[in-house]
Homo-oligomer: A and B are copies of this chain.
Amino acid sequence: MNEPLDLLLKHVSIRRYKDESIPEDHIHQAVLAGQAASTSSAVQAYSLLQVTDKAERQKLVSLTGGQTKVANCGAFFVICGDTRRHRLICEREGQTYEARTEAFLLSVVDASLFAQNLVIAFESMGYGICYIGGLRNQLDEVDELLELPHGVYPLYGLCVGVPDEKPMTRPRLPVDAVLFKGRYPTDIDLAETIDDYDETYREYMQQRTGKARPWSTSMSRKFSEPQRVQVGDYYRRKGADLT
């Protein structure tokens, strides 16, 4: 086991932070590491907005469904897909920027490779992190609050700070439910791995919350209800042509 591998394997999301901010040079270093991630043909279709205003962070607590860690963590960032630089470049060269599903997809992938490197960099310095998907609960309001221009759109938030808890690691699907050689498995084989995982997950939930809920139950509840139905329209308004 090498040191980076060990760091990756011990990841847990941190939801409680000490009241300590993050030195600028640590943020700078982490962003450099984030940028070192692969990017499709060097397009670098992302930006990182650090929300520094206390009142804005407090507002974001309610916009993300009451997640107080958004205000309490050492630093809060918004990870954005960013097509604005490309649009500007096309514009000043008299070209038309061709927005398509591909360009949007590329920004989501690029931003996420960047974000995960950023996260690992912060974790390597001893910080804890938590991604905030809840930032997509009310994208229009977040956009208005942060005054984001056309072509720049939040994908998710990121809390970073000094951990004030030591949570259990959440068990993942077994490797053979995720890695397939040659062909994707049949539904019968897939169902078996889900059943096995449900057992493991149930035990974890029992220990963590006192309620032995299997993974399947969480998934069927989550995916049988329409979620964040406005996100497509929001991204379209910000210039993504999801055709």
Name A residues whose Cβ lies closer than 8 Å to a Cβ of B. Answer: 2-5, 7-11, 13, 27-29, 31-33, 35-44, 46-53, 83-90, 92-93, 95-98, 100-103, 105-106, 108-109, 112-113, 115-117, 119-121, 123-125, 129-131, 133, 136, 146-149, 152, 155-156, 169-170, 172-173, 175, 177-184, 187, 190-191, 194, 201, 215-216, 218-220, 222-229, 231-232, 235, 242-243
Give the 9 A-B CB pairs with smallest separation, nearest first.
Answer: A112-B112, A101-B232, A95-B224, A116-B116, A4-B124, A35-B172, A8-B33, A102-B228, A4-B4
**A117→B119 CA distance, assembly (Å):** 10
Contact assessment for B47 and A178 in the assembled complex, using a CB-CB cutoff below 8 Å: yes
Shortest beta-carbon distance, A178 to chain B, in Å? Answer: 6
Q: So how many copies of this chain end up in the complex?
A: 2
Known: A43-B222, A95-B220. A231 touches B101 (CB 8 A): yes
Contact pick for A190, options B84, B101, B180, CB 8 Å:
B84
Contact assessment for B108 and A109 in the assembled complex, using a CB-CB cutoff below 8 Å: yes
Shortest beta-carbon distance, A33 to chain B, in Å? Answer: 4
Contact assessment for A224 and B96 in the assembled complex, using a CB-CB cutoff below 8 Å: yes
* Residues of chain B contacted by A10 (CB below 8 angstroms): 36
Known: A42-B215, A50-B182, A116-B113. A190 touches B96 (CB 8 A): no
Contact assessment for A36 and B11 in the assembled complex, using a CB-CB cutoff below 8 Å: yes
